[in-house]
Amino acid sequence: MARRHLAGAVVAAAAKAQPARISVGYGEHHWLAWNRTGKDVIDPTVGALWIEALEGDPKRPLAILAFYACHPVILGPKPVISADYPGALRRYLASRYPGSVILFTNGACGDVDPVTNREVWGQGTFNDVEHAGAALGEDVCNLSFHALSPDTVQLRVGQGSMRLHYNVPPLDTVREMIKTYAAQARRRKHSDERYEAVTGTVTMPRFWLGYYRTLEKRIMDGQQPDYIDVQLQVIALDQSLALLAIPAEVYAAQGLAIRTNSPYQHTLPICYANGLVGYVPPREEFEKASYTASLGAAVYDQAPFCPGVAEALVEAAIGLLRQTWKQGVKGKA
């Protein structure tokens, strides 16, 4: 069924093919993003790709792709279904550009939350969501006034894989954790377990008991892998822009390191793309046994990664960007 829908989408897109212009704009939005680890590190970049029909109304683009790096968790753990600020952003842009296809991509925001979480995590309101989306949407709209179109458009695609190793605990350690959390769960009996905040202490013995029991079964059944292979992908627009697809939650500092060392004029690390393997925290997070290095792995129901995975991912991403760049340069020669 999925193949049939995908094939239908390709046929429908081909039927609507028309000459178009691509333009790109960049700016900064400092209000929304906040680093929850206490570091003063965010990526405030707002990026937008505009696709306009050559013979159409320039005020009504065919599509807009917006980029920003911040967790969409203004509403936190509330029992509601919401697209959070990206949904509000898309609604705002749709009101400004009726009929346009509006897309949003998230950047390297593994340690970046909305500023509404600074005092109390996840207590933002729907009004906060709409305000954040509209403010970010207005900045995207302003990019159109100075968006630039490349003289020539030549798309390049690069793809590579890398291996992320798990730090699988010994079976004896897993069983000891099962005993510990089983005892804690019995003492707490039917008391409520709430996940309150990623920045505070989380006491959830029944959650951890279930996690370690599942991990024990995977190890006993020989189903717990030692590593996972992930795919990285580059879609480049000449030498001016590269979209880097990463199937993980990456910290802001690692995203900035990728951008700084990329040969392209602009590089946008797009996380949660082509799958999702969970958090890939930097080495210092393992030393602190932080949320992303411990509880984050359990939330994704997998063993924790080994220290150094984030640094290895940055190296692999930069290598793929440089390789794709060289292919583009050779193609022009």
CA dist 271 → 27, 69, 189, 316 (Å): 19, 9, 39, 15
CA distance 214 to 302: 9
Residue type, 63: A
CA dist 292 → 237, 248, 273 (Å): 33, 12, 19
Q: Give the pLDDT band of residue 294 (cuts 50, 70, 90).
A: confident
Do residues 118 and 81 touch, judged by C-beta distance below 8 A? Answer: no
Q: What is the CA radius of gyration of the chain?
A: 22
Which of the residue ranges 113-127, 145-159, 181-195, 250-264 would you say has the lowest mean pLDDT? 181-195
* Mean of all residue pLDDT scores within the chain: 91
Structure-derived torsion over alpha carbons of residues 72, 118, 80, 188, reported in degrees to the nearest 10: 120
CA distance 68 to 269: 10
Looking at residue 58, its pLDDT comes to 64
CA distance 324 to 224: 34
User: Closest by alpha carbon to 229, among 166, 295, 307?
Assistant: 166
Do residues 175 and 257 touch, judged by C-beta distance below 8 A? Answer: no
Domain range list for the chain:
17-149, 153-168+224-333, 171-215
Do residues 313 and 280 touch, judged by C-beta distance below 8 A? Answer: yes
Looking at residue 146, its pLDDT comes to 86
Looking at residue 1, its pLDDT comes to 74
Q: Is 201 in a helix, a strand, or coil? A: coil
- What are the φ and ψ backbone dihedral angles of 90, each rounded to 5 degrees? -65, -40
**Whole-model pTM above 0.85?**
yes
Do residues 154 and 238 touch, judged by C-beta distance below 8 A? Answer: yes
The larger pLDDT score, comparing residue 150 to residue 298, is at: 298
Looking at residue 17, its pLDDT comes to 86
Residue type, 295: L
